[in-house]
Amino acid sequence: MNRRLFKERTLLIALYSLTVFGCLVLAVILATVITRGGPALSGTFLFEEARNFGLEGGILYQIAGTLILMTGAALVCLPVALGSVLFQTEFLHSPPLKKIFRLLIYSLNAVPTIIFGLIGYLFFGVFLEAGVSWVTGVLILAVMILPTLHVSIHEAVESIPDHYREAGLALGLSPGQQMRAVVLPQSLHGIITGTLLGLARAAGETAAIMFTATAFSGVRLPQSWTEPVTTLQTHILVLAQEAANPIALTNAWGAGLVLLTLVFILITATLWIRSGLEMEAER
């Protein structure tokens, strides 16, 4: 019996250390980015444009570029994701078709982001003649975050209790009225969390936009449909490749800190909304 107890304890300690180690990774990332990026931050860094290939000045237009791309992507993606979820839940009644639809969305989620960049450039850059521009970037990111929004909204719609729908049907609502009066209001939290997660994913993406939507220096706000932007992600990418230069590296960490803060605010908001809902459900 003692041997069993000993084994039980040792294994439990092993499990705890593996888990603590996993969570430590997050702490290490946060600590590194904050300690190394902190010194770069200042009023001028945040609110001035980059000069001398990112060695001087700040990251104002990089921040603006990241915000433009992620907001644009979410705005383009949201109606499509919403529509396809509603079609799947309200009109698609045959189980095998539902299964196939789900599998297609999950597969889209697994596609490597660089492939969205390659094919997205062909479609939006070449065929739509948008070239290397912010519009191409927005459209590529919109396709990329589609599964994120879709899955989140779908979960919310699926969790609407049946009697809500039955009440709607009993009132003789058409499918369109049913969507507006019952489904959309009741799945609002899923729409919000899905959009926030999508924004976070778009903000963190580099590979899909680095050769399709961005330029490194001399770029401000886009003045037309076909101009590139500059973003935090690609700014870090270029500076990181000059890792031998300490000033470049410090500015890369500074931009990294801003990017990480942005992404973590979005994810924390998602977690907060979700945990609030869970507490409500327990009451």
Partner 1 sequence: MNTRSLFPERGPAFWGTGFTALIASGTIFILFVSLVIESVPVFKTQGVSFLWGTDWFAGEAYGALPMIFGSLMVTAIAVVLVFPFALGSAILTSEFLNGRLRLMVKAAMELLAGVPGIIYGLMGIALLTIWVRDVFGLIDGNTLFTAGLLLAVMVLPTVMTLSEDALRAVPGEFRDTALSLGLTRMEMVLKVVVPQALPGLAGAVFLGLGRAMGETIAVMLVIGGIDRIPQPWFNLFASGQSIPSKIGREAAEALGFDLQWSALIALGLVLFVMVMALSLAGNLLLRRAR
Question: Under rule CB under 8 A, which residues in 38-77 are in contact with partner 1?
Answer: none
Provide the token pair at 110: 């697994």
Taking CB under 8 A as the criterion, which residues in 160-189 touch partner 1?
Answer: 174-176, 179
Taking CB under 8 A as the criterion, which residues in 219-248 touch partner 1?
Answer: 233, 236-237, 240-241, 243
Q: Which is nearer to partner 1, 222 or 231 (CB)?
A: 231
- Applying CB under 8 A, among 70, 73, 82, 138 the residue interacting with partner 1 is 82
The four Cα atoms 58, 61, 62, 65 give a dihedral, to 10 degrees, of 170
Choose the stretch contacting partner 1; rule: CB under 8 A; options: 46-54, 158-166, 184-192, 199-207.
199-207
Is the Cβ–Cβ distance between 135 and 209 less than 8 Å? no
The Cα 141–Cα 137 span in angstroms is 6
CB 241 to partner 1: min, Å? 7
The answer to the question of residue 254 lying near partner 1 (CB under 8 A) is no
Choose the stretch contacting partner 1; rule: CB under 8 A; options: 158-166, 186-194, 195-203, 222-230.
195-203
- Applying CB under 8 A, among 23, 170, 279, 281 the residue interacting with partner 1 is 23
For the range 84-88, what are the long-range contacts, defined as Cβ-Cβ under 8 Å and sequence gap of 24 or more? 84/150, 85/150, 85/153, 85/154, 85/157, 86/157, 86/179, 86/183, 88/154
Q: Which residue has the tokens 């912010």?
A: 134
The Cα 254–Cα 54 span in angstroms is 11
Question: What is the SS3 assignment for 224-235?
Answer: CCCCCECCHHHH
CB 258 to partner 1: min, Å? 11
**Per-position x/- string for 88-127, each x denoting binding to partner 1 as judged by CB under 8 A, each - no binding:** x-xxxxx--x---x-xxxxxx-xxxxxxxxxx-xxx----
- Applying CB under 8 A, among 63, 130, 150, 194 the residue interacting with partner 1 is 150
The Cα 223–Cα 156 span in angstroms is 39
